[in-house]
Structure 1
Amino acid sequence: MWIKESRILPSILLLILIIGCQNPKPKEQDLMRIKSANKENTKKVILLMADSLMAQAIDQGIREHELPAFKFLINHGQYYKDLVSSFPTMSVTIDSSLLTGKYPDVHRVPGLTWYSAGDKKKINYGTGPMELLRHGINPVLTDALIHLNGSHLNRNLPTIYEDLARQGLKSGSINGLIYRGASDHKLSIPGWIQGPTSLPKEIQVKGPDFLSLGSLTNPFEGIKNLPDGITNRLGINNNFAIEAVKYLIQANKLPDFLFVYLPDLDRELHKKGPTELNGVKKLDQQLQSLLQTFGSPEKALKDAIIIIAGDSGMTQILPAEQNPIIDLSSMFGDARILRPGEAVSKETEIILAVNETMAYVYPLKAERSLRDVANLIKNDPRIDFIAWKEKDWINVIQGSTAKQLKFKANGNLTDAYKQSWTVKQDSEILDLRVNAAAHSLDYDQYPDVLRRLSGSLDSHPGKFLVVTAKPGYELADRSSPTHKGGGGHGSIRKMESLVPLIICGTDQKPEYLRIVDLKAYLLNLLTTGKH
Structure 2
Amino acid sequence: MFILTSGCQKEEAKPDEQDVVQVKSVKREDAKKVIFFMVDSLMSQAIDDGIKQDKLPAFQYLTEHGMYYKDMVSSFPTMSVTIDSSLITGTYPNRHHVPGLIWYSADKKKIINYGTGPMEIWKQGGNEVLQDALINLNGNHLNPQTPTIYEDLAKHGLKSGSINGLIYRGAANHRLTMPDWLTGITSLPKEVQVKGPDFFALGSLANPLENVKELPDGLTKRLGLSNEYSMEAVKYLIKENKLPDFLFVYLPDLDQKLHKKGPQERSGVEELDKQLGSLLQQFGSPQEALRKNIFIIAGDSGMTSLYSAQNNSVIDLPSLLKDYSVLKQGESVTDETDIVLAVNEAMAYVYNLNKENSLRDVAQALTTDPRIDLVSWKEKEWIHVLQGETNKEVKYTSNGSMVDRYQQKWTVEQDLDVLDLKLNTNVNTKNQTLSYGKYPDVLQRLSGALHSHSGEFLVVTAKPGYELADRSSPTHEGGGGHGSLHEKESLVPLIICGTNEKPQYLRIVDVKPYLLKLLTKD
TM-score between both structures, scaled by the size of structure 2: 0.98
Alignment check: 8 A CA contact 2:3 2:126 kept = no
Partner-residue secondary structure (3-state), 1:215: coil
Deviation at 1:11, TM superposition (A): 4.2
- Counterparts of residues 392-431 of structure 1 (less than 5 Å): 392-431=381-420
SS of residue paired to 2:185: coil
**CA shift for structure 1 position 400:** 0.3
Per-residue CA deviations over 1:47-69 (Å, capped at 9, x if unaligned) read 00000000001001011110000
Further displaced range: 29-38 or 499-508: 29-38
Query: 2:39 and 2:53 mapped to 1: Cα distance?
Result: 21
Q: Please say if residues 2 and 118 of structure 2, whose CA atoms lie closer than 8 Å, have aligned partners that are also in contact.
A: no
1:272 aligns with 2:261: yes
Query: Partner of 1:230 in structure 2?
Result: 219
Q: Is 2:14 the counterpart of 1:26? A: yes
Q: Which of 359, 374, 387 is the equivalent residue of 2:348?
A: 359
What is the CA–CA distance in structure 2 between the aligned matches of 1:476 and 1:213, rounded to whole Å?
A: 30
Counterpart check, 1:129 vs 2:118: yes
Does 2:104 match 1:111?
no
Alpha-carbon distance in structure 1 between the residues aligned to 2:266 and 2:99: 31
Residue number among 5, 11, 14 corresponding to 1:13 in the alignment? 5
Query: Contact 2:283–2:289 (CA<8 Å) still a contact in 1?
Result: yes
| Counterpart-to-counterpart distance in 1, 2:74 and 2:460 | 18
Alignment of 1:104-503 (within 5 A): 104-437=93-426, 438-503=431-496
In structure 2, distance between residues paired with 1:329 and 1:230:
37
Q: How does 1:68-87 map to 2 (within 5 A)?
A: 68-87=57-76
- Displacement, 1:308? 0.2
User: 1:196: how far off?
Assistant: 2.5
Whether the aligned pair in 2 keeps the contact of 1:10 and 1:233 (CA below 8 Å) is: no
Provide the secondary structure at the position in 1 that maps to 2:200: strand
CA distance in 2, matches of 1:123, 1:260: 26
Q: Distance in 1 between matches of 2:502 and 2:254?
A: 27
CA–CA separation in structure 2 for the residues paired with 1:93 and 1:453: 13
Equivalent residue number for residue 5 of structure 1 = none
Return the alpha-carbon distance in structure 1 between the equivalents of residues 43 and 338 of structure 2. 39
* Cα deviation, residue 26, structure 1: 3.0
Quote the Cα distance in structure 2 between the aligned partners of 1:193 and 1:90.
26
**Contact kept in structure 2, 1:336 and 1:349, CA below 8 Å:** yes
List structure 1 segments (4+ residues) > 2 angstroms apart after TM superposition: 20-29
Contact 2:13/2:211 (<8 A) preserved: no
Deviation readout 1:445-494 (Å, 9 max, x if unpaired) = 00000000000000000100000000000000011000000000000110
Shift of 1:333: 1.6
- 3-state SS of 1:491 partner: coil
Counterpart-to-counterpart distance in 2, 1:199 and 1:27: 19
Q: How many residues align?
A: 517
Q: Helix, strand or coil: the match of 1:216?
A: coil
1:201 is displaced (CA, Å) by 0.7
Q: What amino acid is aligned across from residue 460 of structure 2 in structure 1?
A: V
SS at match of 1:45: strand
SS in 2 for 1:214: coil
Distance 2:439 2:76 in 1: 11
Q: Secondary structure at the match of 1:143?
A: helix
Name the residue aligned to 1:4.
none
User: Once structures 1 and 2 are overlaid, which stretch shifts more, 116-125 or 334-343?
Assistant: 334-343
Aligned to 1:3: none
Q: How many Å apart are 1:10 and its aligned residue?
A: 4.5
Q: Which residue of 2 aligns with 1:512?
A: 505
Quote the offset at 1:264 in angstroms.
Answer: 0.5
Q: In the aligned structure 2, how far is the partner of 1:137 from the partner of 1:44?
A: 39
Q: Which residue of 2 aligns with 1:6?
A: none
CA deviation vs aligned residue, 1:354-409 (integer Å, no higher than 9, x gap): 00000000010000110010011001000001000000000000000010000010
Aligned to 2:47: 58
Please report how far the alpha carbon of residue 190 of structure 1 lies from its aligned counterpart in structure 2 after TM superposition.
Answer: 2.2
How far apart, in 1, do the equivalents of 2:179 and 2:54 lie? 46
Paired residues of 1:10 and 1:234 also in contact (CA < 8 A): no
Letter in 2 for 1:33: Q
Q: Could you give the per-residue CA deviations for residues 193-239 of structure 1, whole angstroms, max 9, x where no partner exists?
A: 12322211100000000000001011111211111111111101111
Contact 1:53 1:309 (C-alpha < 8 Å) held by counterparts: yes
Percent identity, please. Answer: 63
Say which SS state the counterpart of residue 131 (structure 2) adopts.
helix
Match of 1:90 in 2: 79
Q: Which amino acid aligns with 2:436?
A: Y
> Aligned with 2:204: secondary structure?
helix
What's the CA shift for 1:23?
3.5
In the alignment, the residues of structure 2 paired with residue 21 and residue 481 of structure 1 have an alpha-carbon distance, to the nearest angstrom, of 27
Question: CA separation in 2, counterparts of 1:95 and 1:11?
Answer: 22
**1:395-453 Cα distance to aligned partner (Å, 9 max, x none):** 00000001000001011110000001000010001100111344001112000000000
Partners of 2:343 and 2:369 in 1: how far apart? 17
**Alignment partners' CA distance in 1, 2:397 and 2:173:** 42
1:144 aligned counterpart, secondary structure = helix
Supply the AA of the counterpart residue of 1:23: E
Please list every run of 5 or more consecutive structure 1 residues that lacks an aligned counterpart in the other structure.
1-8
Offset at residue 245 of structure 1 (A):
0.5
Give the unaligned 5+ runs of structure 2: none
* Residue 87 (structure 1) shift: 0.2
SS in 1 for 2:72: strand
1:40 Cα offset (Å): 1.4
Q: Could you tell me the TM-score, scaled by structure 1's length?
A: 0.96
Across the aligned residues of Structure 1 and Structure 2, the Cα RMSD in angstroms comes to 1.0
Provide the C-alpha distance between the structure 1 equivalents of 2:328 and 2:286, rounded to a whole number of angstroms: 53
Q: Distance in 2 between matches of 1:27 and 1:406?
A: 56
